[in-house]
Amino acid sequence: MIRSTLDLQQTALQTLQERYRQPHSLRCQVERHLDFSPHTILQMLVLEVERKFRCLAVKRLVRDGGFPPFRSFKYCGKQTFHDVYYDKADLLSSKGVWIRQRDGHWQAKIQRGGDYHNSKFEELSNPMDISQYLAELTGIRHNERNNFGLMQMAAFSTLRESWVADQDFTVVQDVTDFGHTVGEVELECRVEGEGSPGLATERYRAAKMAEMDERITTFMKRYSWAFCAGVPKGKLTAYFETFQ
């Protein structure tokens, strides 16, 4: 019986590796999410809560740039990335779903609560998962080879500067190639679960996101010296105002 169970585990692992053919680091991620029961595969759920702000209130964000100072602080540097957003007659964006390619990699951001300035998202990055989600949403199945049956609606590049404060909070400020600036404070949580999401998973997700949102609110109030007051404008909104 022990030999049979181990054989089943090894077969399941080999099947997953052959199916996805991902780079080594991603294959290891799949391996880590195999339970030792041969009938159970764990799924990783990525939850993200973010709050936008207009721009930084200080010329240079540093640990002790205001009072109180950050408890911990790390500068993460600058990076440039190119986003291409896809939709079909506003079908997805009207439902709080954004599909994009960031530097050629597909991503789906699914709004799970909040509003325009304070958003709660579930993220998908595997094209198979994105295809499955869109099929459930629209009733039509496509894959990444034909852009999931969607049309390009926006494309622009962004220069992002980022920091990590108080260990868990990512602070970013973005400047687009068409001159728009906006910032975000983000918290991310990775949760493992079995099989398809059920009622217990949905309740846990909602409770976890509410907790993350409260933490961001407290963080931004504590360090209000770092963030400009006023109503922020997202990059897509600014893009459409500029080009349409």
Residue showing tokens 């079909």:
88
234 pLDDT band, cuts 50/70/90, is very high
The model's pLDDT over 144-192, given as tens digits with 9 standing for 90+, comes to 999 999 999 999 999 999 999 999 999 999 999 999 999 999 999 887 6
15/204: higher pLDDT: 204
Alpha carbon 243 to chain centroid, angstroms = 26
22 pLDDT band, cuts 50/70/90, is very low
- Reply yes or no on whether the pLDDT at 39 is more than 60: no
Q: How far apart are the first and last CA of the chain?
A: 66
> What does the alpha-carbon distance between residue 153 and residue 100 come to, in Å, rounded to a whole number?
10
Confidence at residue 21, expressed as pLDDT on a 0 to 100 scale: 39
The model's pLDDT over 88-143, given as tens digits with 9 standing for 90+, comes to 999 999 999 999 999 999 999 998 877 666 778 889 999 999 999 999 999 889 99
Confidence at residue 45, expressed as pLDDT on a 0 to 100 scale: 75
Are the CB atoms for 54 and 223 separated by under 8 Å? no
Q: What share of the chain is helix, strand, coil (3-state, %, to 5)?
A: 35, 35, 30
With residue 77 as reference, give the H or E element that holds it: strand 73-87
Rg of the chain over Cα atoms, rounded to whole angstroms, equals 20
The β-bridge relationship of strands 42-53 and 97-102 is unpaired
Nearest partner of 227 among 49, 50, 52, 48, judged by Cα? 52
Domains of the chain and CATH, by start: 1-40 (no CATH), 43-243 (2.40.320.10)
> What does the alpha-carbon distance between residue 207 and residue 124 come to, in Å, rounded to a whole number?
20
